[in-house]
Structure 1
Amino acid sequence: MTDWQASKNWFDRGGQAYARFRPEYPLGPARFLAETARSHKCAVDVGCGNGQLTAQLAAYFDDVVGLDPSADQIANAPAQQGVRYICASAEKLPLPDRSANLITAAQAAHWFDLPAFYAEARRIASDGAALALISYGVLRLPGDLQSRFDRFYHDEIGPYWPPERKLVDRGYRDLCFPFEERQAPQMDIQLAWALGDFLGYLSTWSAVQRVKGTGREDILNDFARDISRLWGDPTKTQPVSWPINMRIGLL
């Protein structure tokens, strides 16, 4: 990529792009969640996508199950010993009663029918099982990159976000969470990305796909041009970070 025009395919979509560009969690969240669980026989990751958190839980639990309603996402989850993936919804978990010591939902709970999911979580939870809703907030960039990104995120594609996005931006603080809650430590995702990585990540956003679907590709192209100019050398890496938010309760 030598200029912004070489990145005009940045809004390609699909599970393969999601698996390639979505930021991976650091090891801290999985380790903390394992410490919260009273037993380590089984962890269940609901709305697992391509298994970014699911795979990390395998280091702490004997059996890890990743569940997602999207067959495309499951197909892009890497095979790993001790991890199995099942195409299933959050509202109908295909697991036995009282079988899960930890139930997680990472960057997914805002799509759930929460009462139905909570009922299923209670059903499959073992005594003292932990439930964690995990999300990461709006990304942070250095200097002028942040200013241009803020305008794009809040003003230009802001109207195209589904209402559920506000729940993510607020760290799920507005979600009903009827459990005995535990405090989580402050953690962040910190990466160094080249321009192509950054634009590829944005391509996985639902708002970007909606912009494209309405024929307003000029919004995307103008932003790609501006951010490319500010970025400079497209192979140069820039620090990118996201705050990790967790709501953890005991069932």
Structure 2
Amino acid sequence: MSSGFTNHFAPVAAAYRDYRPHYPDALFAWLAQQCERQQLVWDCGAGSGQASVGLAEYFDKVLATDASAEQLAQAPPHERINYRTASPAASGLANACVDLVTVAQALHWFDLPSFYAEAHRVLHPGGVLAVWSYGNLRSGDTAVAGALHHFHYQVVGPYWPPERQHVETGYRQLPFPYPAELAPAFTLTAHWTLEQLLGYLRSWSATARYQAAQGEDPVERLARQLLPIWEDPWRRLEFRWPLALLVGRKPLPPCD
């Protein structure tokens, strides 16, 4: 976890918007069911709004904040979403006004003590904190899976920021401020052409760091490797990402 903000995704903000997989609608429906009210969500580290838009289907208002103005600029406008550049430690919200705080694929970048203090401040008693991440994509095609594994670990592997290790471990090594509640298993699923897969790989922070250091796009080499395996570049393959989800609840005040 980071003590300062490093904007790893500014160079790939458009690719992040266009090619990141979508979260399942069932995730947002389940989160709404866990909340006593569905009035206001703070989606912290919102990026280009991947989770914010889904949350807006179930809550009256969504405050979507991110420290990266470049990523927020890519987010789609929505009548129930207020996008704001802000750090995880300073939401600008009033005390005890939020029903749900979410962090989608971003908690590992945060200074956790300051964020958790802010989340606790803005949640109303009984409000829910939900954080999640997804790791490496999975493919049923063994040749494609092997090429992706080599790209992830051998080609761009040295360029992953240190915080990425917490995505690999499903956030199990990160502290969490509330007792974790049982949550269903959710999976992201996409059916992608070769072009869509390559766009997703270009949205990785490690890919951007490799390109900045080496002066070349590592995805181009992988594309030449995958094209004969894919045979038809318009063929769609299924990819899956199991979701690691942590959910907890701000305690109610003790009864007098």
Shift of 1:229: 2.1
Q: Where does the alignment leave 5 or more consecutive residues of structure 2 unmatched?
A: 1-9, 251-256
Cα distance in 1 for partners of 2:146, 2:215 equals 22
Shift of 1:13: 4.2
What is the TM-score of this pair, normalised by structure 2?
Answer: 0.90
Q: What does residue 79 of structure 2 align with? A: 81
Q: What does residue 133 of structure 1 align with? A: 131
RMSD, matched Cα: 1.5
Give runs of aligned pairs for residues 155-174 of structure 1, distance below 5 A.
155-174=154-173
Q: Where does the alignment leave 5 or more consecutive residues of structure 1 unmatched?
A: 1-11
3-state DSSP class of the match of 1:95? coil
1:150 counterpart letter in structure 2:
H
Shift of 1:124: 0.4
What is the TM-score of this pair, normalised by structure 1?
Answer: 0.91
Q: What does residue 8 of structure 1 align with? A: none
Q: Closer, same or farther in 2 for the Cα pair 1:67/1:219, shift >3 Å?
A: closer
Cα distance in 1 for partners of 2:67, 2:45 equals 7
The number of residues matched between the two structures is 240
> Are the counterparts in 2 of residues 13 and 203 from structure 1 also a CA contact under 8 Å?
no
Shift of 1:210: 1.3
Q: What does residue 254 of structure 2 align with? A: none
Cα distance in 1 for partners of 2:208, 2:31 equals 33
Cα distance in 2 for partners of 1:239, 1:218 equals 25
Cα distance in 2 for partners of 1:26, 1:235 equals 24
1:221 counterpart letter in structure 2:
E
Q: What does residue 6 of structure 2 align with? A: none
Cα distance in 1 for partners of 2:125, 2:83 equals 24
Deviation track 1:45-74 (CA, whole Å, cap 9, x = no partner) reads 000011111111112211111011111111
Q: What does residue 211 of structure 1 align with? A: 210
> Are the counterparts in 2 of residues 49 and 68 from structure 1 also a CA contact under 8 Å?
yes
Shift of 1:150: 0.8
Cα distance in 2 for partners of 1:27, 1:220 equals 30
Cα distance in 1 for partners of 2:93, 2:232 equals 50
> Where has structure 1 moved over 4 Å in runs of 4 or more?
none
Q: What does residue 202 of structure 1 align with? A: 201
1:35 to 25, 33, 36: 33
Cα distance in 1 for partners of 2:112, 2:124 equals 19
- Percent of residue pairs identical: 39
Shift of 1:216: 6.2
Give runs of aligned pairs for residues 204-243 of structure 1, distance below 5 A.
204-215=203-214, 217=216, 219-243=218-242
1:102 aligns with 2:96: no
